[in-house]
Structure 1
Amino acid sequence: MAAQTIPALLMNGTCPTILLTRPAPASRKFAQRLRDAGVTAPIVTSPLMRIEPVAASVPEGLRGVLFTSMNGVAAVEGRSLPAWCVGDATAAAAARVGWQAISAGGDAEALYKRVLADAPHGPLLHLRGEHARGDLARRLSAAGIETSETVVYRQVTEPLGPEARRLLSGDSPVLVPLFSPRSAETFLAETPFRAPVVGIAISTAVADILAKAGVARIDVAAEPTADAMIKAILVRLGAD
């Protein structure tokens, strides 16, 4: 992203605020990336969940593993085994700790299709969070690729903080980037909101959840990546 300064577009005569609800480390990193991209709009961080590792180990005899998030990578020790990863960032994290990382470049469905296309011999193991979508292990096993799963971290829900509640109770527009269906559902559980909310959705699955809840303004990232989410925010703020 270019490092030029991006003045926030006035919405209803008011500069919007960006509300980040990812776990604290991810929110800090994303906020810095927004600043590096030139975003000057106010940013408020209020994590709606925290990540708690679950004691787990990778058994011997595997032919590879699946990761659907960087949290899964961080929860286990690296191995010199093939690791099919949901996207580039997760693959980069896996490669740094020794896995032979393969990026599906998308979402859980893209990961499923990539493993099917590569047709590895099992057994494989999906190292995942307590809450996960895609039913990868069952679907891959049904397709003839032996795959099991184990939970290696929990996503513990937390309430919005006082600053975020004040923001959402006001009259100024709030941009809320949402990176998963679960994060969208968790955010919507905090309703009702008085402020006009603009949802920045990482996928159509997230957008559908927002739309069903009555969120009037929703932008969907061109692809399910952090770069595409930043681009969508820049567009909404009037950078393009």
Structure 2
Amino acid sequence: MTRPRAASERFVAQLPTRARSRVTVVHSPLLEIRPLDVQVATAGVRGLIFTSANSVNAAVSLGVDRTLPAFCVGSTTTGTAKGAGWPAQMVGATAEELVANLLKLRPESPLLHLRGEHSRGNVAERLTESGLTTLEQPVYQQRLLPLTPEAQSAASGDRPVIAPIFSPRTARQFADVWDGTAPLWLAAISQATAEPLRSLAFQRLKIAKEPTPKKMSKAVKKLVKHALRVEGGPGAD
């Protein structure tokens, strides 16, 4: 598992019991999330945009106003925001959907997109260009990490390694640090996440049908099934 530990544990917990029972889980986060030491000015802001649970957690640590409505990507981010006390609603499963739906909803603006230092989608820029004024501010950083010794050991073994990858940046880091000889089975949450992985020698690359935890869970379940049967040759779905 390449996500930060808490997110990885949540994902593993939602896998089918049979799939969990057939694998040994190795945690090797490739990104460390750290809140930035910044002041978040919300005077005049009419709503927040959260595109990840990391931004919600950073906003909590930075004391961001929790009376503002929060517009979120995905059920996990929305649930995290609600749990932290924001009046939150999910307005899309992806950044693309969030932009499209906010332009239909036309909430009061300006909005403020709280994001990581490395962010894709140009959410604030696209909304503003379409007439919905949106500011943006990085509130956390993502420090790249190497594989843990346990993960390196698994990579140099002969048992299949199944690696779910949840973001393009994590994919780039995984491609940089992986030098293993173990049979490699990859699950990517999106086409953009899959691209950096194509340089690797893998048995199979499965791309989730939608960029959601549920669809990633299904992709991993299928990889577990195929890897343990030792079916198929190199290829990608």
TM-score normalised according to structure 1 size: 0.84
What is the aligned length? 220
Contact 1:78 1:94 in 2 (8 A): no
Q: Tell whether 2:42 aligns with 1:59.
A: yes
The aligned residue for residue 143 of structure 1 is 130
Structure 1: segments with no counterpart, 5+ residues: 1-19
1:181-230 CA-to-partner distances (Å, cap 9, x unmatched) read: 11111111103321221111111211222225454511111221112211
Contact 1:130 1:153 in 2 (8 A): yes
Which residue identity is paired with 2:147?
A: L
Query: CA offset at residue 49 of structure 1?
Result: 1.4
Contact 2:165 2:189 in 1 (8 A): yes
- Bigger Cα displacement from structure 2, 117-126 vs 30-39: 30-39
1:138-187 CA-to-partner distances (Å, cap 9, x unmatched) read: 11111111111111111111111111111112222111001111111111
Contact 2:175 2:199 in 1 (8 A): no
Q: Give distance in 2, aligned partners of 1:151 and 1:38.
A: 37
Root-mean-square deviation over aligned CA pairs: 1.9
The aligned residue for residue 235 of structure 2 is none
Q: Tell whether 2:11 aligns with 1:24.
A: no
TM-score normalised according to structure 2 size: 0.85
1:53-86 CA-to-partner distances (Å, cap 9, x unmatched) read: 1133341211111111001111124522221111
Residue 146 of structure 2, aligned match among 136, 149, 159: 159
Contact 2:188 2:194 in 1 (8 A): yes
Distance 1:37 1:29, change over 3 A: farther
What are the residue-to-residue correspondences of 1:155-234 with 2, within 5 Å? 155-213=142-200, 215-234=202-221
Contact 1:121 1:146 in 2 (8 A): no
Q: Looking at secondary structure, tell me which structure has more helix per residue.
A: 2
1:93-140 CA-to-partner distances (Å, cap 9, x unmatched) read: 112223221213422212221212212232111000111100111111
Spell out structure 1 runs of 4+ moving beyond 6 A: none
Identity %: 42
1:4-48 CA-to-partner distances (Å, cap 9, x unmatched) read: xxxxxxxxxxxxxxxx01112212222333365652111111111
